[in-house]
Amino acid sequence: MINRLVVFGATGDLNARYLLPGLAALRAGGHLPDGFRLVCADRKGWSGEEFRGWAAEQLDRHAGSAPADARARVAGTAEYRQADATDSADLASLIGGEGPVALYLALPPAVFPGSITALGRAGLPAGSRIVLEKPFGEDLASARELNRLLAEVVPEQAVFRVDHFLAMTTVQNLLGSRLANRVLEPLWNSAHISEIDIVWDESLALEGRAGYYDGVGALKDMVQNHLFQVLCLVAMEPPLSLGERDLRDRKIDVLRSIRPLTDQDVRRRTRRARYLAGGIGGREVPAYIDEDGVDPRSTTETFAEVELHLESWRWSGTTFRLRSGKALKHDRKEVAVRFRPVPHLPFGHNGEALPNVLRFGLDPEGMTLALTGIGSGARTLTPLTMTAQMEAPDLPAYGRLLLDVLHGNAALSIRSDEAEEAWRVLAPVMSAWAGDLVPLEGYPAGSGGPADALVRADPQHGREARP
């Protein structure tokens, strides 16, 4: 286990909201040794005391459920250094001398190439690891270049391209439900499943993140990484084990099986839109283009939807739809698996059998199965719903990711070829959208999104289903 973690971008949102709380959870659970060192660095000229006071405030705000002594220990023992993540001399002074180190680049993606180059010049101690957040590059070419730079500094096994979705208990339960239950796995194919919707709808709007979001948009921010990761777990063949090689090999198989999209496919099977002025939960929300920090010439989308088909024995004939949007009326974060109808109903006209739908709630956690049963009449059909609640996770997602980094378990990180393959799949969409082959639509904040959204609506939220 590596006993030293260096976080670049120390006073940023990622460290405040996720990394420090993740470390507090690890400390509370007894996962960190007494000699563990947390070194936080950025370009601000803070004193160590100033940083520790800031860290304590952030932990109180974002990790209130962690024991007070764990929060106090994380904040009180954190070291702060002023350093430029792209300056090799600063980095050599910061990371040298005490054995291997885990380096977490909690930085804007545009800084990654310069920082990785500087780390190579500074010289990393043997056995060190580098952690990068999404998005990994901004297209296929930049992802390949990042992989090339990383390969010159550390071996692939020491690179952690993290996606916290993979560490969410609800996402991992997709595999558990599929592979540990005989009642599901024999049905997990196109003969029985017609459609799978992977949805991450948020009622949150921009919330002050224009500096990051306006250069990225919903397609790159959510679909290319988070939702693709969920797709891989939903559609992958059963791996021999959940070890690093077996799990990652099966994930890359899914991405490689996605049918390439033509310009005509992009026109018919993708949607892009952004929110207009409206209201959400009693508060007024300005149009995206009027949000603070948004370039008035921006064409960034806040809603993205893509329909995909997999060319594989298991999934030929099943439609996969991935969707994410901001400033929508309801939060809806789930995987909805829609089964094909039964071939015959012996009930005459005494009701209609609705499609069986298995829903995996991603946030909040849970699982529901929509069935059809006999109602009060002798042969009258009526909807039935079975629900299940998941056990609370022992660690938050970032706590699990940090523990894997420190122990060198790369099973839940993204391999170099996987990062590139995800960009390959979306390259035709990005090109077509940049050429305005698909119009940029608008939807009022607080609405259900574009009226003709490809993903079927959620009846629990009172939306109309797609014809």
Annotation says 226 is catalytic: yes
**Is 134 assigned to a binding site?**
yes
Taking CA atoms, 377 is separated from 262, 346, 373, in Å, by 51, 14, 11
> Is the CB of residue 81 less than 8 Å from the CB of residue 94?
yes
Helix (H, G, I), strand (E, B) or coil at 248: helix
31, 129 contact by CB (below 8 A): no
User: For the residues of 141-202, what is the DSSP string, one character each?
Assistant: HHHHHHHHHHHTTS-GGGEEEB-GGGG-HHHHHHHHHHHT-TTTGGG-STTTEEEEEEEEE-
Backbone dihedral region for residue 436 (phi beyond 0: left; psi -120 to 50: alpha; all else: beta): left
Residue 202 labeled ligand binder = yes
CA distance 127 to 424: 31
Reported as type and span, the H/E element at residue 118 is: helix 112-122
Contact (CB, 8 A) for 457 and 465 = yes
CA-closest candidate to residue 330, choices 204, 453, 176: 204
Measure the CA–CA gap between 211 and 216, rounded to whole angstroms: 10
- Which residue in 62, 192, 226, 344 is the catalytic one? 226
H runs (alpha helix) in 323-415: 397-407
- The 3-state DSSP class for residue 17 equals helix
Neighbours of 94 (CB within 10 A): 21
220 carries a ligand binding annotation: no
Question: What is the rounded CA–CA span in Å between residue 32 and residue 10?
Answer: 20
The widest CA-to-CA distance across the chain, in whole angstroms, is: 81
User: In the numeric block, which tokens belong to residue 9?
Assistant: 């971008």
Residue 135 preceded by cis peptide, ω within 30: yes
326 annotated binding-site participant: yes
379 is in an annotated binding site: no
* 333 assigned binding-site residue: no
Q: Which residues are annotated as a binding site for NADP(+)?
A: 43, 134
Annotated binding site for substrate: 164, 202, 221, 326
Binding-site residue positions: 43, 134, 164, 202, 221, 326
Residues involved in catalysis = 226
